[in-house]
Amino acid sequence: MKYTQLGRTGLKVSRLVLGTMNFGPLADEVDSHAIMDAALDAGINFFDTANVYGWGENKGRTEEIIGNWFAKGGERRDKVVLATKVYGNMAAEGDAWPNHDKLSALNIRRAVDASLKRLQTDRIDLYQFHHIDRSTSFDEIWQAIDVLVQQGKVLYAGSSNFPGYKIAQANETAARRGGTIGLVSEQCLYNLAERRAEMEVIPAAQDYGLGVIPWSPLQGGLLGGVIKKEVQGGRRASGRSADSLANPTVRAQIQSYEDLLDKHGVEPGEAALAWLLTRPGVTGPIVGPRTAEQLESALRAVELELSEELLAGLDEIFPGTGPSPEAFAW
Tell me the residue ranges of DSSP E strands in the chain.
3-5, 12-14, 17-19, 46-48, 81-86, 124-129, 154-160, 183-189, 211-215, 286-287
- Other beta carbons within 10 Å of 278: 11
| Whole-number Å distance between alpha carbons of 304 and 235 | 26
Asked if the model's pLDDT at residue 248 lies above 90, the reply is: yes
Q: What is the pLDDT of residues 84-115, one digit of tens each?
A: 999 999 998 778 788 999 999 999 999 999 99
CB 206 within 8 A of CB 183: no
What's the CA angle centered on 218, arms 18 and 8, to 5 degrees? Answer: 50
- What's the confidence (pLDDT) of residue 235? 66
Check residue 238 and give its pLDDT: 67
The C-alpha atoms of residue 106 and residue 298 are separated, in whole angstroms, by: 39
Residue percentage of the chain with pLDDT more than 90: 91
Find the mean pLDDT for residues 140-155. Answer: 98
Alpha carbons 299 and 284: distance in angstroms, whole number? 12
The 8 Å CB, 24+ separation contacts for 169-177 are: 169/138, 170/138, 170/141, 170/142, 171/208, 173/137, 173/138, 173/139, 173/142, 174/138, 174/142, 177/139, 177/142, 177/143, 177/146
Strand, coil or helix: what is 257? helix
Residues present in the chain in total: 330
Q: Which of the four pLDDT bands, split at 50, 70 and 90, describes residue 194?
A: very high
Q: Which of 53, 190, 208, 257 is catalytic?
A: 53
CA distance 97 to 46: 33
Backbone φ and ψ of 228, nearest 5° = -60, -40
Tell me the residue type at 270. Answer: E
CB 142 within 8 A of CB 173: yes
3 a catalytic residue: no
Burial class (CB in 10 A: 0-12, 13-18, 19+), 95: exposed
Report the pLDDT value the prediction gives residue 237, as an integer from 0 to 100: 65
For 274-300, the pLDDT digits (tens) are: 999 999 999 999 999 988 889 999 999
DSSP string of 75-117? THHHH-EEEEEE-S--SPTT---TTSSTT-HHHHHHHHHHHHH
pLDDT value, residue 95: 82
Q: Is 122 exposed, middle or buried (0-12, 13-18, 19+ CB in 10 A)?
A: exposed
Q: What is the pTM of this model?
A: 0.96
Does residue 205 sit in helix, strand or coil? Answer: helix
Higher pLDDT, 213 or 178: 213
List of domains in the chain: 3-220+270-307 (3.20.20.100)
What backbone torsions phi and psi does residue 278 show, to the nearest 5 degrees? -90, -10
Average pLDDT, integer, range 218-242: 84
**Dist CA 313 CA 48 (whole Å):** 32
Residue 326 pLDDT more than 90? yes
